[in-house]
Amino acid sequence: DQQVKQNSPSLSVQEGRISILNCDYTNSMFDYFLWYKKYPAEGPTFLISISSIKDKNEDGRFTVFLNKSAKHLSLHIVPSQPGDSAVYFCAASAVRGGADGLTFGKGTHLIIQP
């Protein structure tokens, strides 16, 4: 039973264009969402988060959108750069954030093409 789903295992985007990574969740108790970026042989790096009381959070080139009614969130990267090529994980938690551990999606491999 996957509570956090990233339905696209991979995504290819041209450099300079917008990358949109999607994530769906099923547990309505989730109230805090995070995106992590992971390079091979490294641990995930925290990118951006959003609380369920918001519908948008922006940090530089990264924007996360949350649609609670659809139980859907997305990460927008504008403009996409070669260094953005990595695996992106969506994660969610309930109540106190890390209290029950983060539930991760299986990741989307983003490939930025020159």
Partner 1 sequence: KAGVTQTPRYLIKTRGQQVTLSCSPISGHRSVSWYQQTPGQGLQFLFEYFSETQRNKGNFPGRFSGRQFSNSRSEMNVSTLELGDSALYLCASSSRDRGRETQYFGPGTRLLVL
Would you give the distance in Å from CA 39 to the centre of its chain?
15
Among 49, 72, 79, 109, binds partner 1 (CB under 8 A): 49
Among 92, 107, 110, 112, binds partner 1 (CB under 8 A): 107
- Considering the rule CB under 8 A, would residue 59 count as an interface residue with partner 1? no
Q: Please, what is the end-to-end C-alpha distance for the chain in angstroms? A: 38
Spatial distance between the Cα atoms of 78 and 32, rounded to a whole number of angstroms = 23
- Considering the rule CB under 8 A, would residue 41 count as an interface residue with partner 1? yes
- Considering the rule CB under 8 A, would residue 77 count as an interface residue with partner 1? no
Q: How many residues touch partner 1 (CB under 8 A)?
A: 26
Identify residue 61 by its one-letter amino acid code. Answer: R
- Smallest gap from Cβ 93 to partner 1, in A, equals 8
Tracing tokens 């789903």 back to the chain, one arrives at: 5
Q: If phi over 0 gives left and psi between -120 and 50 gives alpha, with beta otherwise, what is residue 50?
A: beta
Residues 4-33 that bind partner 1 (CB under 8 A): 32
- What size, in residues, is the chain? 114
Point out which residues bind partner 1 (CB under 8 A): 32, 34, 36, 41-46, 49, 51, 89, 91, 93, 96-107
